[in-house]
């Protein structure tokens, strides 16, 4: 099962990594030079963290993402910025395509270290991304225009285009920015021995939410006691096991309500609910409306 902490090895002498994926987020390519790339192992489809900041854009695709303790559906054009060590995860529903820029703002090669005048512009962006930052509106549109160009450019124009992207993000108006994880979210402690178990549990829940999944099933798959798992799972995700499972199920139901013509009964079953009245009750509790009202409101 997945290792929670990803170790990123930047190319020698380069200040950032440019990654893309096509069809599957688990099949990532690292762009080494203009129009040249090589396959690398990616962890986007796993609950993980790393010591680099990250800008990720899902240009095509939809699914569910978890940033810190923020769980949300996403669709085409989703753009987020994540600070160092913040756990994150994408569950794609089908094929997807996207871009990812990773860099260490504390590295001597980083643009963050280019002088006080640059730092004064970029440091607020990093602070805003400390708990994850979702970018939308005209800001996201402007960045999405530039991202494909990065794969075609040589080193210097690629770097200047990155500067342009960072400048656009740093100057984003407040209405284009949304903080994701809650202010009381605790970043994992360095060397936490339970990270691997939590990563495995998140992956298992996300893959099997439509099945009659129980906490005992998770505990049979991860080598920790029930009290230890419950304590660390809630600290890591901000939720108990049953709340996390229910939210993923409701998020799946929301997506199917807005993207398919399936009946509410069928959607409830697809989302792991074998009792329609229980599904309606849980849906209303989480979304403050009935499934049919949610579907009507999205049209």
Query: What is the distance between the alpha carbons of residues 29 and 42, in angstroms, rounded to a whole number?
Result: 9
pTM of the model as a whole? 0.84
Residue 175 contacts residue 134 (beta carbons within 8 Å): no
pLDDT tens for the chain, 299 residues long, are 333 555 566 555 678 999 999 988 888 999 988 889 999 877 666 788 888 999 999 999 999 898 988 889 999 999 999 999 998 989 888 899 999 999 998 888 788 787 778 888 899 999 999 999 999 999 999 999 999 999 999 989 999 999 999 999 999 999 999 999 988 787 777 777 888 888 889 889 988 999 999 999 999 998 899 999 999 898 888 889 999 999 999 999 999 999 899 999 999 999 999 999 999 999 999 999 999 999 998 76
Residue ranges and CATH numbers for the domains of the chain are: 17-179 (2.60.120.10), 195-298 (1.10.10.60)
Q: Strands 53-60 and 96-103, how do they pair? A: antiparallel
Sequence-ordered strand ranges (E) for the chain: 17-23, 27-33, 36-41, 53-60, 63-67, 70-74, 78-82, 88-92, 96-103, 133-135, 177-179
């Amino acid at each position: 099962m997945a290792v929670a902490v990803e170790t990123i090895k930047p190319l020698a002498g380069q200040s950032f990594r440019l990654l893309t994926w096509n069809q599957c987020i688990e099949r990532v390519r690292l762009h080494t030079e203009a129009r040249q790339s090589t396959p690398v192992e990616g962890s986007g489809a796993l609950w993980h963290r790393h010591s680099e900041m990250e800008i990720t854009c899902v240009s095509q695709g939809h699914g569910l993402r978890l940033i810190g303790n923020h769980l949300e559906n996403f669709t085409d054009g989703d753009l987020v910025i994540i600070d160092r060590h913040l756990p994150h995860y994408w569950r794609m529903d089908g094929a997807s395509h996207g871009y990812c820029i990773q860099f260490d703002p504390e590295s001597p090669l980083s643009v963050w270290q280019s002088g006080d005048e640059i730092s004064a512009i970029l440091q607020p962006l990093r602070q805003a991304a400390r708990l994850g930052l979702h970018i939308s509106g005209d800001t996201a549109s402007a960045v999405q225009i530039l991202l494909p160009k990065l794969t075609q450019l040589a080193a210097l124009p690629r770097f200047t285009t990155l500067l342009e992207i960072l400048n656009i993000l740093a100057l984003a108006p407040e209405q284009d920015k949304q903080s994701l994880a809650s202010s009381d979210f605790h970043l994992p402690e360095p060397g936490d021995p339970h990270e691997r178990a939590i990563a495995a549990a998140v992956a298992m829940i996300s893959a099997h939410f439509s099945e009659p999944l129980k906490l005992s099933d998770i505990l049979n798959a991860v080598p920790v006691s029930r009290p230890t798992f419950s304590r660390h799972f809630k600290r890591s995700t901000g939720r108990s096991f049953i709340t996390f499972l229910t939210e993923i199920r409701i998020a799946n139901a929301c997506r199917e309500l807005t993207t398919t013509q399936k009946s509410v009964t069928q959607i409830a079953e697809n989302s792991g609910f074998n009792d329609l009245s229980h599904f309606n009750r849980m849906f209303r509790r989480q979304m403050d409306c009935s499934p049919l009202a949610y579907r009507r409101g999205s049209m």
